[in-house]
A and B are shown apart, each in its own frame.
Chain A
Amino acid sequence: MKEQLKTAFKPTPDRFRYAVEEAVREAQAAPARKKHLSKGFKIALACVLVAALIPSAVFGATKLYELIAKPVDSYGLEIGVERKEKADYPEYVKMHVKTPDGFAAMSPEPDNMKFYSVSASEKFTDGFSLYPMRFYNAVDMKEYIGNVESVEERVVDGHQAYEVRMIDGAWSRLYVYYEDVNVFLLIYHKDVTDAQLESFVKGITFTEGTATDFTYLDTPSDERPKEQPAYTYDETYVEHPLSTKLTFTDEGNRYTAQLSNVRTLDNISDLDEADFASAFGKYEIADDNGDLNPNTVNTIKDGDGFDSTDELLNTEQKNQTLVLADLTYTNLSDKDIELYVPYHINVYNRDSKGNYTQATIVDLENKVYMTDLCDGELAYMTPHGAGKGFCILTLHAHETLTVTIGSRVDTDMLDKAYFTLYGVSDVVDPAPEGEGYQTIYLFKVQNDA
């Protein structure tokens, strides 16, 4: 049966792959709404060996271009090409890559050249991926790279190359210049030996392509990344008193939900282990005595990768509190409803004008953020969806059902904690219908009074 099912699906269409790649690009281009930055940091001065130190003979006698790397500020690097003679290279090229021993290709797509170690437990935690580029005509184009730990000029398989190691253990980059075809090949690599890298590069060749059969060559990111504007989702926060009764619909059937009886626990020894979500096991979030484990929170100042890198300002252990509340559902219809419990807790700052911002932002102007603050996901629920999803219950016709829900919050953030509900077009009353999940419903955990 396994083989029957495994071969039951059509290959993923290229348009779908493209849509996934676009989504990744969009995600990476957008400044984070809730900024989480890398934990530690280490700094090393970039060390550049100028190309002049390498004998030009190793690149061949008819050298047209030369790759030049220069440091930019304290942690950045620019790599560009200096033209020596008139350019003469094929307009279209075709890249061929031999799959290295011990590695597998991501997909048979010829332009999707990513290789992972077959011995790795997960795909793409190591290996190689290729990003071919060209400095079209303008030889003053440059590739800008931030967060550089070190750079070293190398000769790999007879080609001029720069090995760039990044701060915080990100994938290393090997820039290899194929001057006869004017291709600037970026090879990302992780957890591979020098010998494997050398062997991989030896398996890369270029032939002349045609207008219909060629390898797409991108252009380098030729501008130093600019300061990114503060990113805001088009979200509307709507706060209601805790006792507000919301009305939902499900396939036309209506039901109501109301929060009440909020209380907190620092010790969960009296709670049944079976009522914790599998991702938050009772003895994963608490010690053997039932005392909740502390949460490690880092405060980090965001660096731009050129003048500065991420700076760890503070690390602290934050005590956790489990916030419990009763949630009473009433089915107003004649039919059973499969109920999804969508509540979790988030922490927000509310200014005097009633605007909400994530409490993880310490100082927006100076880009100081807290990371890993308040998990807030539904960790505890009783009754829960036995035999169904943890958060899915059956609400019988005209039944009233009370569910106890629980989420962890950093104890010192309790006064900023809100039960949060992303409007998913189900809430129809009392808030007006909006654009689905763009409306966020908030119910303050602690009464200000």
Chain B
Amino acid sequence: MLDNHSFEMLVSAQTDALYRVSMAMLKNEHDAQDAVHEAILRAFEKRSQLRQERYFGAWLMRILINECKKTLRRRRRYADIGDALPDIASRDNPYLSVEIGEAIDRLPEKLRLTVLLFYVEDYSVKDISSILHIPDGTVKSRLNKARTLLREALTP
């Protein structure tokens, strides 16, 4: 089982990915921090279930995505009582370029997440299939669809 220091090192190595994925999903740093916090607690608690250290990144990402989904579902529930969801113009915008940020944000959540994991976080199709619990073919078709949409959005 991972010792404390190894756990800390592996989480450290994932900090940027945790930030990007949680922000791309939740678009709000406060919620993103909460989701990451909960994901780290759960990962530490469940670390004995991780059979091979080399899968730590994908494993932690799967836990984080589940936590983000929980937050989204809570938000949906309260959306009808007036909580507006933050948009790209909010202060928590994680993107350097508003143009690219808007293009990414306009992608449906499933495509956005797949694109992010593949192009930004460098996960393989097989890894993403495991993280998102979807078949390899679905990952590829999502990437294909997302590429088309992004190309359309970013072409002057």
Contacts and interface: CB of A to CB of B under 8 A. Distances in A.
B88 interface: no
Contacts of B133: 277-279, 385, 389-391
Interface in B109-156: 110, 115-116, 119-120, 129-130, 132-135, 138, 141, 147, 150-151, 154
Contacts, number: 190
B45 A28 contact: no
Contact of A436 (B8, B10, B74, B80): B74
B59 to A, nearest CB: 9
Contact of A9 (B5, B56, B120): B120
A37 to B, nearest CB: 7
Nearest to A6: B120
Contact of A8 (B10, B15, B104): B104
A316 interface: no
Contact of B5 (A6, A121, A170, A252): A170
B1 A124 contact: no
B48 A425 contact: no
Nearest to A424: B70
Contacts of B77: 249-252, 425-426
B129 A9 contact: no
B5 A26 contact: no
A318 to B, nearest CB: 15
A40 B132 CA distance: 33
Interface size bucket, B side? 35 or more
A45 interface: no
Given A1-B150, A5-B115, A20 B15 contact: yes
B33 A124 contact: no
B83 interface: no
Contact of A122 (B36, B56, B154): B56
Interface stretch (A11-19, A46-54, A89-97, A348-356): A11-19
Contacts of B29: 13, 16
Contacts of B84: none
**Central interface residue in A4, A129, A389, by most chain B CB within 10 Å:** A389
Interface in A389-448: 389-391, 424-426, 436-437
Given A33-B45, A37-B48, A385 B119 contact: no
Given A4-B100, A9-B20, A388-B110, A124 B9 contact: yes
Interface in A103-143: 106-107, 112, 114, 116, 121-125, 127, 129
B132 A389 contact: yes
B70 A8 contact: no
Interface string A249-287: 111100000000000000000000000011100000000
A371 interface: yes
Interface of A, secondary structure class, is loop
Contacts of A171: 3, 5-6, 9
Contacts of A28: 4, 7-8, 44
A148 B150 CA distance: 54
A39 B101 CA distance: 46
A62 interface: no
Contacts of A127: 9
Contacts of B135: 278, 386
Given A10-B95, A372-B48, A24 B7 contact: yes
Given A16-B29, A278-B130, 15 more contacts: A4-B100, A6-B120, A8-B101, A9-B95, A13-B29, A17-B15, A19-B37, A20-B36, A27-B7, A27-B41, A36-B47, A107-B15, A129-B9, A170-B5, A424-B74
13 contacts: A1-B147, A5-B104, A5-B116, A8-B96, A16-B19, A32-B45, A114-B9, A124-B12, A250-B77, A251-B76, A372-B49, A389-B133, A425-B74
A-B pairs with the 9 shortest C-beta distances? A36-B48, A390-B133, A27-B44, A123-B13, A170-B3, A124-B9, A23-B40, A12-B19, A8-B100
Interface of A: 1-2, 4-13, 16-17, 19-24, 26-28, 30, 32-34, 36-39, 106-107, 112, 114, 116, 121-125, 127, 129, 166, 168, 170-171, 188, 190, 249-252, 277-279, 340, 371-372, 375, 385-391, 424-426, 436-437
Interface of B: 1, 3-13, 15-16, 18-20, 23, 29, 32-33, 36-37, 40-41, 43-49, 53-54, 56-57, 69-70, 73-74, 76-77, 79-80, 94-97, 100-101, 104, 110, 115-116, 119-120, 129-130, 132-135, 138, 141, 147, 150-151, 154
